[in-house]
Structures are given as structure tokens and as C-alpha cells.
Amino acid sequence: MSRPHQYIALVSSLPHLGKLFSRKDVPISGFRLKQRLSMLEPAHASLLREMVEVTAWAGVAGYDRDIDVIRRANKVLADLAAYPDLQHLVGARMETRTLIAALRRRRDGQESAGDIENWGFGRWCAQVKANWSDPAFGLGHFMPWVGEAHQLMRAGDHIAMERLVLTQVFRQMSHYGNLHEFDFEAVAIYVLRWVIVERWSRYNEADARARLATLVASALGGKTDDGSKAGRPDLFSDFTSALEGAPS
């Protein structure tokens, strides 16, 4: 367990990130954030790296098969057993990624969800499979963003698509972030939010098109459209590389 005063000091040292899309600069650099995170307990630092790895495209890009990404996610969820809110957050990120993958597959002409158990994750797999022809997979009544994402993907509006998905992810984080103040969960959620804010600060349309194309090349990660394997940085070398990129 962490020492309370240690985490109060850590959280207090992290500047407010502000609203998503509200600024083009990041209030704390990756280098400075890494310095702050040196205050984490070793076990917590390890868990945070696991979370970043499985939620960031840079982390899952090294896996050849979607089923391997799913297994990795389940391992991370098991390791987070003492932190149910972080479990829910990681699970929600994986489910969002699955819905995007389903939209891509359908857009590219796939006539059914097929073996979704091998490329999809989470609660909505059966719903997606049973409602493949519905624009929002039958989820539009309480997840209206899925139908909007369907329209944007078909229109090829990469900027609006990425903005929409990042907004949903940020809202998920804000919900759980409101439940924590000076604990490990608060630090982890801050880092995942920082990844998105930092990414948006470097945002441009060309990058958005390239990222979206790579993200949807397969369901959860892995190979690009041309069949080549996407590069994977060493996420465990330090926190700076671990915090690179956070696809939805």
C-alpha cells in the first residue's frame, strides 16, 4: 500500500490539464511528468505501465493477433483486481476500440461480425453480432456516438472521427477521476488523460488520417493495411516512451 502523504504530494504536484481540445500546449512535459511519477510505489509504477501499454496503440501494435491483445487486456484487468475503477476504465477503453473495429470491418464490406470472440472485447460483442446491419449495432439509444462515428467513418472525416472518439474516452476518465483525489487511481487516471491532451497538442489532419488508418487496419492492433507489422517502442524503458500515443 502507498504512503498517504507521498501520494498527496504527488497529486498536488500535477498541474490541471484543463478541458480536452481547449488548449494546444501541455501544462507539464513528458520529462517533468516522468520525474513526478518517480514518487510512485514500484508496484504501482508497474501497474501504470501495464495500463498504458494495453490502452495505447503503441503498446498493442506489437501483437500479431487480436486474440493476443485480448489476452493481454484480461491479464491487466486481473492485475488491477484491487482497483475496480481502473478495471472498469481499461475495460471501457477496450470496448470502445472494439466498436471502432466493428465499424471499420462493416465499412470495408464484411457482411457479419464473424468470429468476433477472436477480435472483439467486452460486453457488446453479442450485441454487435446480433445487430450487424444496424448503423449503431443496436446501441444508439444509449451510446449515440456509435451512430455518429458510423457516419463520420463512411464520410472519411478523420478529424471529426478522432475528436468524437477522444471525447468519449475523456468522458469515461472524467467519470472515474471524480471518484478519486489523492490515491494511485487518481495518478493513473491523470496520466491517461495527459496522454490524450499531449497527443492533441501535436494534432494535425495528416497525422489523424494516418493514425485512424493504422488503428482500424485490424480490430485491436497489430498489422497495417499493407500487411506490415506496426512498430512497437519499448514501453518499459521509461515513462516517456510508455506515455507515447493513446488511441481510442
Report the alpha-carbon distance of residue 67 to residue 73 in Å, rounded: 10
- Evaluate the CA torsion angle 194, 48, 223, 116 in order and state its sign: negative
Q: What is the pLDDT of residue 206?
A: 55
Mean pLDDT of 146-169: 91
pLDDT, tens digit, 9 for 90 and up, residues 41-60: 999 999 999 999 888 766 66
pLDDT, tens digit, 9 for 90 and up, residues 90-137: 999 999 999 999 999 999 999 999 999 999 999 999 999 999 999 999
Share of the chain above pLDDT 70, in %: 77
pLDDT, tens digit, 9 for 90 and up, residues 168-178: 998 889 889 88
User: Which candidate, 138, 141, 167, places its Cα nearest to that of 152?
Assistant: 167
Report the alpha-carbon distance of residue 114 to residue 87 in Å, rounded: 27
Strand, coil or helix: 223: strand
pLDDT, tens digit, 9 for 90 and up, residues 1-20: 446 788 999 999 999 988 88
pLDDT band at 209 (very low <50, low <70, confident <90, very high): low
Q: Could you tell me the CA-to-CA distances from 145 to 11, 83, 132, 176, 189 in Å, in that order?
A: 32, 28, 16, 20, 22
What are the grid coordinates assigned to 235, written together? Answer: 514501453
Report the alpha-carbon distance of residue 119 to residue 83 in Å, rounded: 26
Q: What is the pLDDT of residue 59?
A: 66
Higher-confidence position of 21 and 14: 14
Question: Does the pLDDT at position 86 exceed 90?
Answer: yes
Q: What is the pLDDT of residue 201?
A: 75
**Arithmetic mean of pLDDT over the chain:** 82
Question: pTM for the complete prediction?
Answer: 0.81
